[in-house]
Structure 1
């Protein structure tokens, strides 16, 4: 399973209609877009999926819908964590019940638990299911960093914790993850500009929001690395950089959703309190999509 869960795992956005209801038809189209363009796996209800804007029941509906749409064609890794311990347990158990290949569990956000509390939380979640767990460390949005020694304790005590998505700009930290958790531990980049560098130290792949807009090139970067074509991988790293930058000039997934709206994939709707990017950034996104060949110049 560790090997099967490598590559570009696309964290698909949750599309909404203009009345803020979930647009499941658009969700199916987004999943098909990812699979057709070579993404190696699908994740839903992670950061890009606006989980804090969804009720628990809606998160379950999105997970179930994604599982049925994927139909076993690629691995399915729903995100099941939240700031609430019992909700995390419930969602992770549901992920197992519906047939997910693994569950991604975020460091609880806002409440800023200490390292022992984080250890207790993740150990309880991991022990509640049999499927693999991928820990999700994103200190810029959670307010607390899961320290490497805490993660190493968890991997030693919980065999089904098989990887971590590190949305952590501290590259020294991510190097030490593999040093202390083992070189066979699945390390995924959640920082777009570190997708290529993490492969160089032995990373398993990426869970990159940019793949919502440009799935083929994000997946191709990993494929090129696996094939030993380092020049092509490096070229794709730099080719994607401008798109990566513009998609993170506002809080994810607002720029990605606006881009997907221009591309005709979804209605560019976020649930409040989230909102669309400024008019200036919208125009910059439009120009970038034109440059990347994602939309014609006539699209406004």
Structure 2
């Protein structure tokens, strides 16, 4: 394996926060707010930053807008923490283009989602990811989220890719099947980077050798999400376990509706962004908004806005 990929495996660990894409009320991207969100993350100890993943509403952005968001992020981060943009699409040509752009701008890795809606078979998925991996000299983190893509990247398919593509160094598993994620490390190697994309599995995945998490909750509570990983790494298992349970209620409320709607509502209540999603996405119901509002208060957040609930 090339040295740069070994180094990436050592560096790309911990809480990699998958940032929302902030919009103005006219639905334009708010780059100033994005910079503020990045500073909020770094100040609170987040180990890495990702943009244009699920929480970043990539399917609501044009290719040019995705590049703008990536460029703004990499300039703001300025090498302080690893940068892992999401570059995947349902369209392979777009995926190739965005992944090459990520390499050119100096990203530490690219996160490439299993193509959604089309439901490719396993051989087609292998062909797709091998084509992407072969097109760049950049670490690739595969993103498996069967609940939103309609297809699961099976462990044997991923293991074939790891064997054939040395720059495929990890996977974000938004997969509630814990037997599946255990077998990822068994068949892809114990040094393969396994990230949890399921909030209630962030701690359990560390216990089996996971590399960290790419958790939407980090948008709202970056410090505690990062501290859970730090506690685990330092051997303070009691603290890590306590943080796991402390975060559980917040994790639950932030998924009362489709991500990132509750997260954006929470950030709006905290005064971090305008609570705007691009249609067809929209804010949660008033009942869910009230629950989010109350939960933020319980977590000691400075809640500034109520949205006239």
2:50 corresponds to 1:50: no
2:156 corresponds to 1:149: yes
Structure 1, residues 223-260: CA drift from partner, whole Å, max 9, x if none?
00000000000000000000000000100000000000
Corresponding position of 2:219? 212
Corresponding position of 2:29? 22
Corresponding position of 2:5? none
Structure 1, residues 249-283: CA drift from partner, whole Å, max 9, x if none?
10000000000000000000000000000000000
Structure 1, residues 110-165: CA drift from partner, whole Å, max 9, x if none?
00000000000000000000110000000000000000000000000000000000
Corresponding position of 1:118? 125
2:78 to 71, 95, 101: 71
1:266 to 267, 273, 284: 273
1:3 is displaced (CA, Å) by: 1.0
2:239 to 232, 237, 243: 232
1:299 is displaced (CA, Å) by: 4.7
Corresponding position of 2:3? none
Q: Distance in 1 between matches of 2:152 and 2:305?
A: 41
Q: Secondary structure of the residue that 1:19 maps to in structure 2?
A: coil
TM-score normalised to structure 1 length: 0.99
TM-score normalised to structure 2 length: 0.96
Q: Secondary structure of the residue that 1:234 maps to in structure 2?
A: helix
Q: Secondary structure of the residue that 2:258 maps to in structure 1?
A: coil
Q: Distance in 2 between matches of 1:61 and 1:22?
A: 9
Corresponding position of 1:169? 176
Q: Distance in 2 between matches of 1:145 and 1:12?
A: 24
Corresponding position of 1:160? 167
2:247 corresponds to 1:253: no
Q: Distance in 1 between matches of 2:121 and 2:130?
A: 14
Q: Distance in 2 between matches of 1:233 and 1:299?
A: 31
Q: Distance in 1 between matches of 2:42 and 2:30?
A: 19
* Alignment: residue pair count: 299
Q: Secondary structure of the residue that 2:16 maps to in structure 1?
A: strand
Corresponding position of 1:11? 18
Q: Is the 8 A contact 2:114 2:143 kept in 1?
A: yes
Q: Distance in 1 between matches of 2:136 and 2:223?
A: 33
Q: Is the 8 A contact 2:146 2:175 kept in 1?
A: yes
- Write out aligned runs for 1:274-293 (5 A): 274-293=281-300
Sort the Cα spacing of 1:90 and 1:299 in 2 relative to 1 into closer, same or farther, 3 A: closer
Q: Secondary structure of the residue that 1:275 maps to in structure 2?
A: coil
1:40 to 27, 44, 47: 47
2:141 corresponds to 1:134: yes
1:295 is displaced (CA, Å) by: 2.2
Corresponding position of 1:100? 107
Corresponding position of 1:83? 90
Q: Is the 8 A contact 2:16 2:215 kept in 1?
A: yes
Q: Secondary structure of the residue that 1:162 maps to in structure 2?
A: strand
